[in-house]
Amino acid sequence: QVQLVESGGGLVQAGGSLRLSCAASGRTFSRYGMGWFRQAPEKGREFVAGINWSGSSARYADSVKGRFTVSRDNAKNTVYLQMNSLKFEDTAVYYCAANPLGVGFQDSNQYNYWGQGTQVTVSS
């Protein structure tokens, strides 16, 4: 069982930056693949970024590539999402998710555990 708690969301102007954190409980965090997803009002949940168990491999949605960076610190049981050059269309609730296969999948169905989400609002 893994419990995930996101933090770091807030209100930021377009062009600004935020860093989201996702703290995980459990002793086996280092084995889990982690993902970040987001959901805007009246839209479906979409993949943002994923990272494998060791942090050696990451993948990104085309819409955030070059602006967002996913990383993890297994010693702290935490995964991060650094978001730079934020745009109005990045406004959404951001969720982190974990899967025991160790891969940062793009498919949300591959994830077993989800956090409660943190709101990111970008003003234009």
| Segment 92-118, tens digit of pLDDT | 999 999 999 999 999 999 999 999 999
Residues whose CB falls within 8 Å of the CB of residue 15, separated by 6 or more in sequence, listed in order: 85, 86
| Segment 32-83, tens digit of pLDDT | 999 999 999 999 999 999 999 999 999 999 999 999 999 999 999 999 999 9
Residue 1 has pLDDT above 90, yes or no: no
Q: In whole angstroms, what is the distance from residue 28 CA to residue 32 CA?
A: 7
Q: In whole angstroms, what is the distance from residue 123 CA to residue 117 CA?
A: 19
6 near 21, Cβ under 8 Å? yes
Q: In whole angstroms, what is the distance from residue 123 CA to residue 11 CA?
A: 7
β-pair partners for 36: 49, 96
